[in-house]
Amino acid sequence: MTKVYVTATPPTPNGDLHIGHLAGPYLAADVYSRFKKMQGHDVSYITYGDDNQSYVSTTANNKKLDPAEMVEINNNIIKSTLRSANIDVDLYKNPLGNNKHTNYVQTFFLELYKNGKLKKKTKDILFCDECNLYLYESFVKGLCPYCKSESSGNLCEACGQINDPTDLVHPKCNICKSVPAVTQYTGLFFPLNNYKEKLQEFYSSRTTWRAQLTEFCNYIVSKDIPDYPVTYPSSWGIPVPISEFQGQVINVWLEMYPGILESIESEDIYNDEHHNKNSNSLVQFLGFDNSFFNSVLHIASAFAIGRDDLLPEHIITNYFYLLDKQKFSTSKDHAVWGRDILKDIPSDNLRFYLSLTNPEHMQTNFSLKDFFDKNTQMVNKWEGLISRYVDIVNKEFNGSIPKDKLVQYQASCLIMRTKNNLERYYDLNQFSLRKAAFELNDYIDSLTNYWEEKVLPMQKKDDDLYKQYLSDFSYLLTALAFFSFPIMPTFSKKLIRNLGAKDVDLSWDNILKVHTCPEIGNENQFFFPVQSRRYQ
């Protein structure tokens, strides 16, 4: 029996999730997990707070907060926002102060070190005299040496390439904004170039990775890969468990893969006698800017110590989601925060729009005006059609329409066409929230045509044929509840209940088997209205 582990990039607890985050790996991983569960797979959706991230330290410093308290507060906010967005995470752990997590990461690190897989090296590093601080990652800002976009040290979010912070153009300390000096430190580095051939072989075997990730990985292994720093002189993070490197911490990006393994192994199911460890499957969802770490660093570290029994079978990436055609920015207060918007906007409405405009293959844009316009169109179209059906069944048949045992050919063809398409878009071969949302819209358009061309013309002409078309339409609406569940779970459950079905098993293969309409409901409102003017 295959166990599927789904992960989304650990969120940094230096603030809430904004809708750019939600539109990325968190919603995608939730939709995929829901679909696989509908298919009968054993799935666990796992993530955890990226508590040891340098961005936590810099944010806490700039806001004059205690970092540990900030982490606890923001992890709780993040989990609350995920719940509000109906993103159903099975396990969300907190690494800070978690001895089990820390020990696991240190053991993984020591295994690399004791097996001679890490290299001791003296290297240049930026240092801020004003702050008495070594600068790397979020501690330093400058221009990317490759694309000249504003970048932190070690990684440019704009182009996805790793950098040496000493190569940044016009670097400045992110705490005091002064120009740093260049000094040296002796730390441990991971010689990634030693695993180039194994990485090339692994990439060639990946058939479901999106083209941009495959091209990025092939580009990385087409040239020499620089040794990657896995320790830094810092007080924030997991201490390096080697006395010679006292005062240094493990690079948080090397922490993530063992952190995932620890999360997985903490589940009883992982060691269950009914599960073969080698049959487990790992599926990862992440922003494209994290591609190097997940698809190069993590995989190479697993190769280095033979921990390649649970490599990511699939990695699904997304690009940045823009807000009014500009990048989300916490420092510039250019963001729409999840907990704020979800106080006024039902999760299904937001989830559908984020799916429809998802940044899968390129940057896409969120506009509040466009959201409200498209939301109004969508609600009117979907709710209007369902309400017309509910009204007729209640008024003309006292809330009960006999459902024929066999759905007629035209309706069944429409259902099976949509089912087949969504099986591709919800699964990994062509995973696409955009295509799934468009397919749902197209299905509603087809139902509208069916209603207007089949049902209404028979309303006063042929009672038996009229009942048959209404029966077929009930199948079509029942199928809609199944089709929409991964993206709009609240709407789906409300629809299926209102169609008269009780205790429904929303298994994917039950689409044409659910008995509905013995006693139909009379609700007309399937999407709660968006009434807030706060964003308009």
CATH assignment of the domain containing 377: 1.10.730.10
User: 269 and 411, same structural domain?
Assistant: no
User: 436 and 378, same structural domain?
Assistant: yes
Residue 313 lies in a domain: yes
Residue 285 lies in a domain: yes
CATH assignment of the domain containing 64: 3.40.50.620
Give the pLDDT band of residue 274 (cuts 50, 70, 90). very low
Q: What percent of the chain has pLDDT over 90?
A: 71
Residue 85 lies in a domain: yes
Q: Which long-range contacts (CB under 8 A, 24 or more apart) does 521-525 make?
A: 521/390, 521/399, 521/497, 522/390, 522/394, 522/399, 523/390, 523/494, 523/498, 524/383, 524/386, 524/387, 524/390, 524/391, 525/383
Residue 11 lies in a domain: yes
Higher pLDDT, 135 or 464: 135
Spatial distance between the Cα atoms of 366 and 354, rounded to a whole number of angstroms: 8
The yes-or-no verdict on residue 105 having pLDDT over 90 is: yes
User: 322 and 374, same structural domain?
Assistant: no
Listed range (125-134, 338-347, 388-397, 432-441) with the worst mean pLDDT = 388-397
Token couple for 246: 């006292």
Residue 137 lies in a domain: no
Spatial distance between the Cα atoms of 473 and 348, rounded to a whole number of angstroms: 23
Spatial distance between the Cα atoms of 236 and 50, rounded to a whole number of angstroms: 12
Q: What is the CA radius of gyration of the chain?
A: 26
User: 449 and 321, same structural domain?
Assistant: no
User: 388 and 506, same structural domain?
Assistant: yes
3-state class (DSSP) for residue 288: helix
C-alpha neighbours within 13 Å on the C-beta side of residue 271:
7
Residue 275 lies in a domain: yes
User: 494 and 382, same structural domain?
Assistant: yes
Listed range (29-43, 64-78, 79-93, 148-162) with the worst mean pLDDT = 148-162
Last residue of a domain, one of 324, 341, 358: 341
User: 385 and 335, same structural domain?
Assistant: no
Q: What percent of the chain has pLDDT over 70?
A: 91
User: 506 and 374, same structural domain?
Assistant: yes
Highest mean pLDDT among 80-89, 148-157, 305-314: 80-89
User: 377 and 330, same structural domain?
Assistant: no
User: 322 and 383, same structural domain?
Assistant: no
For the chain, what is the mean pLDDT? 90
Q: What is the pLDDT of residue 529?
A: 59
User: 277 and 398, same structural domain?
Assistant: no
Residue 107 lies in a domain: yes
3-state class (DSSP) for residue 287: strand
495: containing domain: 368-510
Token couple for 499: 């169609």
pLDDT in tens, 437-455: 999 999 999 999 999 998 8
Listed range (6-20, 43-57, 185-199, 273-287) with the worst mean pLDDT = 273-287
User: 446 and 298, same structural domain?
Assistant: no
Residue 314 lies in a domain: yes
Sign of CA dihedral 466, 471, 476, 480: positive
Place of tokens 């690009």: 319
Q: What is the pLDDT of residue 331?
A: 61
- Total domains present in the chain: 2
Give the pLDDT band of residue 505 (cuts 50, 70, 90). confident
In this prediction the pTM is 0.94
268: Cα separation from own chain's centroid: 24
Listed range (64-73, 248-257, 291-300, 519-528) with the worst mean pLDDT = 519-528
